[in-house]
Structure 1
Amino acid sequence: MIRGVRGATTVTENDELQILSNTKSLVEEMVKNNKVKVESISHVFISVTKDLNAGFPAKSLRQIQGWKYVPVMCMTEIDVPNSLKNCIRVMMVVNTDVAQSQIKHVFHNEAIRLRPDLNKAGE
């Protein structure tokens, strides 16, 4: 079965190092919490709000051991009025036998308010 694992985080400013660091930390927690093996990752989509353009968050995933061949793509999130700013969203698509209701989605920083009903980090 193919499942999506959601994650999101925010940064305090449009800074490349902060974008890279927060993205890498988020994805590593998504992998850890869901016991994802790199070979089971189909692809990863990363979207950023229009106020973040200092760097490609996907670049940080290349620093993770074994991720050289994982397809990753960045894009701009829809610019909805009054939506959360400085936000990085991740959709990691994985092959897994885990039930959809048991996937542990991860939200950091201000992004916790996006989907508090899905935030199972630390369970």
Structure 2
Amino acid sequence: MNKSNYKYGNIIELKINEDVTIDNSLLIKLTYFTHKRPRIGGSTQATATLIVTKDNTLGEINLSVRGIQGKSESEDGLSEEERFRPVLWKGYKFQLAERFGSNYGESIRVIILKDKKYN
């Protein structure tokens, strides 16, 4: 699937094992999901792994959502930056746009930003 009309900073949905090309140069593929089983009251983490390719360079990115077992987002004390920690790769910033929900194992929604100095 080609997302040549994607505007950096908007939300994009990535589906498991589907190749997505942005600007005919950045190839992204969501490959799998994992999660950490916490102790009661401990930290939680669910992770989606992406394979990314740009200019014949291959990379792996792990995007995670964090929390505290048994506490809501308003109670766990985490900032949005801590909850959805961004990942920088080759001039791009990748960040989950939301928690995994019923789509866990199937798709994620991400925001990708591009640093202008890498154009």
Higher strand share: 2
**TM-score, structure 2 as length reference:** 0.32
Q: Which has the higher contact order (CA 8 A, sep 6+)?
A: 1
**TM-score, structure 1 as length reference:** 0.31
Larger radius of gyration: 2
Higher helix share: 1
